[in-house]
Structure 1
Amino acid sequence: MLRYIVVCCLIVSFSACKPDYIRPDNVSNVLIEPIFEDSTISVRALEFDDEYVFYGSAGQFGKLALETQLKIDLDAFSAKAGREYHKHIIDNDDAKPLNFRAIAQNEGDLLVISIANPARLYKLYRKSTQPKLVYEEIDEKVFYDAMDFWNHKEGIAIGDPTKDCMSIIITRDGGETWTKLSCDVLPKAKEGEAAFAASDTNISIVGNHTWVATGGKSSRILYSPDKGNTWKVFDTPIIQGKATTGMYSIDFYDKDNGFAIGGDYTQPNDTLANKIRTKDGGKTWQVVADGKGPGYRSCVQYIPNRNAKELVAVGFKGIDYSNNAGDTWTHLSDEGFYTIRFLNDSVAYAAGRGRISKLTFRE
């Protein structure tokens, strides 16, 4: 009976630690709680489901349980809480670890693709511990930047041009097989046009609509209304013209309202023409907060359920927030992150060099 009472007390005490978050009417600060720290990681790709945070990093990819698991030692009358954690280090033919900056979570299965030659795409099934190679591309110019899924069967990954168009591969069977689109069906790339593997947010999907942000000497929008079957291209007014300029991240709230951010990571304090907005599905774009607000940022995301009004941008120079669709910004923190994903309208997960953190946005 004594053991039973101890166990019950421990369980109650741990469950009581889970906080309830109230949606703020306006964000004025952010609480940053590291949930995982490892000096060997530099995370630019982040996803999650109900159980795990999935990440891609230089040299490895892995998953971390969102909730702590309570382990009770009845003999010692003690309990320990910890997070289940798995990581995978995969080498290329030269025994150098592959660099994973694009990932997707698909009904518990994890898909990851390495950035450079050879580009290798692995699928890690929900209950498996051994990743399966499902796609490989060997080319001196190959470099994949981002991945996303329309549904549990159909997905897309994009990369720099290997010929005269952006590289786009598509799956229609849940990531088991992938097909690279011919340049005959894609807009021709301009000289110096590519993409940035900065936060795995070069692609934004709403329903069947898909937007791909390019960058470099030319920074444009590739748009497909039908899950990658047909494509158009739209110009943008974001800063461009150098290999380090252009859009680094894009997000759409719905089929009409979208936002993109970037700049020049070598001039991170410059704020001219690095934030753009569309209200017509990406056909036309306007520069906002020109010369004001955040400079270079590697990721921007709409806060859910805020009517396309509230945004958060992160980069190695800090965290910024807008409550008026990007017209003005509030700097919330100097703590640097590369990428961010929202769980709900108050809580997000962010990652960067050496850590993955939980961010709670508050009044």
Structure 2
Amino acid sequence: MKDLLYFTLLLTSTACKTNSKATEKEAFKTDVTIEIDQIMTDSISIRALDYLHTDYWYSGSDGQYGRINAATGEVKKFQLTSKEARKMEYRSIAVTEQYTYLLSAGNPALIYKITHATNEVKLVYTELGDQVFYDSMKFWNDQEGIAFGDPIEDCLSIIKTIDGGQTWTKSKCTRLPKFIIGEAAFAASNSNISIYTDNVWLVTGGAAARVLHSKDRGSTWESYDTPIIAGGEMTGIYAIDFIDDQRGILIGGDWNNKEDNAANKAITDDGGKTWKLMDAGSGPGYCSDIVFIPETEGKEILAVGPQGIWWSGTQGNSWKKLSDKGFYTVKMINNKEGFLAGRSKVSKFILNKLE
């Protein structure tokens, strides 16, 4: 099924191009439409999506995962074989040159490693406990990865591997920022971790909406406050994206009040130390994912959630809603093409921009 959704944007506004030295103002004027082509339907909920070279990988409920050729749209579906594995939702995925890693949400926490060359599937991590709940996972390369989850004792859960997932080490509470009671994370889109070179940023919600930052791949940490709404069980930050070691964006809000866009999205140009709220007048309310659009030097942003898809060409100073179709997560190949995943579906999309 192919939906051609036209929402014409004639947007003339001032965009701020920021860096550590100066701020320049420039005009931005573009007509934008979005074309959405549904690639796959299924009975599962898909919250994890990653891309490498020519393939998208997804994972979801019932132990199911798959690979989609970005050019042809060909879908190959798989399912984990063990009874225990099939009970879990896999809301985190990470794809490297040689491997794909799947991480379950809930108890038990299971990490599976899939070798691309042989299609071998191996369980490489198990963690049991009533409070165990992991939310997101990223890898720098085939060997080094990190996963982030809810608190177990007196700190948030962070596990790391340096040997391709064969062994995982949990960070000690004494090495992490002081825990705030009621603070947690959300497994909404595998997007509450962002990595760039040696940097890694994690975002929280609940009692606090903070950014945890490490400059050394998780060996040491700092925490930064944000102006994002917090204090409720389902409030806080749901997704974060960095384009370099200084420029980042984040989004979230109140899952119980999805239309509220007052304090749910922000931008930084100093590595996450300080955050400025984006426009609340025309922008999206609660969203589960946000990305810098590639090849636009950080000017263009795409945000997705159950209420639809939004685009900004002004670093979040103004927004345009492109579609009412709801999705959980988004990945983009270039400045025009990408994939979206949500409940029971994966779709390809193209942004048509007439400048």
Q: Does 1:222 align with 2:212?
A: yes
Residue in 1 aligned with 2:301? 311
Length, aligned pairs only = 326
> Equivalent residues in 2 for 1:177-326 (5 A)?
177-326=167-316
Deviation at 1:27, TM superposition (A): 5.5
Q: Does 1:65 align with 2:68?
A: yes
Deviation at 1:49, TM superposition (A): 2.0
Inter-partner Cα distance in structure 2 for 1:241 and 1:92: 38
Inter-partner Cα distance in structure 1 for 2:200 and 2:66: 27
> Equivalent residues in 2 for 1:43-62 (5 A)?
43-62=46-65
| C-alpha distance after superposition, 1:279-298 (max 9, x if no partner) | 11000111111243110010
| C-alpha distance after superposition, 1:301-349 (max 9, x if no partner) | 0001211111000001100000111111000000111000111111011
* Structure 1 consecutive aligned stretches of length 4 or more whose deviation exceeds 4 Å: 90-93
Deviation at 1:84, TM superposition (A): 4.8
The sequence identity of aligned pairs, in percent, is: 43
Q: Does 1:118 align with 2:108?
A: yes
The residue identity in structure 2 corresponding to 1:59 is D
Instruction: State TM-score, norm by structure 2.
Output: 0.88
CA contact 1:89–1:97 (8 Å) conserved in 2: no
| C-alpha distance after superposition, 1:104-125 (max 9, x if no partner) | 0011411011111111111011
Deviation at 1:52, TM superposition (A): 2.5
Inter-partner Cα distance in structure 1 for 2:117 and 2:31: 39
Which of 150, 153, 156 in structure 2 is aligned with 1:160?
150
CA contact 2:62–2:88 (8 Å) conserved in 1: yes
Residue in 1 aligned with 2:76? 85
Name whichever structure is richer in strand by fraction.
Answer: 2
Counterpart of 2:123 in 1: which secondary structure?
Answer: strand
CA contact 2:59–2:66 (8 Å) conserved in 1: no
Residue in 2 aligned with 1:140? 130
The residue identity in structure 2 corresponding to 1:88 is Q
The residue identity in structure 1 corresponding to 2:68 is A
Identify if the C-alpha distance between structure 1 residues 83 and 223 changes in structure 2 by more than 3 Å, giving closer, same or farther: same
Runs of 5+ unmatched residues, structure 2: 1-28
Q: Does 1:29 align with 2:33?
A: yes
| C-alpha distance after superposition, 1:158-181 (max 9, x if no partner) | 000101111011011122221111
Counterpart of 1:239 in 2: which secondary structure?
Answer: coil
| C-alpha distance after superposition, 1:222-246 (max 9, x if no partner) | 0000111110111111000001000
Inter-partner Cα distance in structure 2 for 1:91 and 1:132: 11
Question: Which of 1 and 2 has greater Rg?
Answer: 1
Inter-partner Cα distance in structure 1 for 2:327 and 2:196: 25
Inter-partner Cα distance in structure 2 for 1:219 and 1:61: 31
Identify if the C-alpha distance between structure 1 residues 27 and 192 changes in structure 2 by more than 3 Å, giving closer, same or farther: farther
| C-alpha distance after superposition, 1:92-115 (max 9, x if no partner) | 65x861110011001141101111
Inter-partner Cα distance in structure 2 for 1:265 and 1:91: 33
CA contact 1:114–1:121 (8 Å) conserved in 2: yes
| C-alpha distance after superposition, 1:51-80 (max 9, x if no partner) | 4321111112322231677xxxxxxxxxxx
CA contact 2:282–2:320 (8 Å) conserved in 1: no
CA contact 2:98–2:142 (8 Å) conserved in 1: no
Inter-partner Cα distance in structure 1 for 2:239 and 2:50: 15
The residue identity in structure 2 corresponding to 1:148 is K
Runs of 5+ unmatched residues, structure 1: 1-24, 70-81
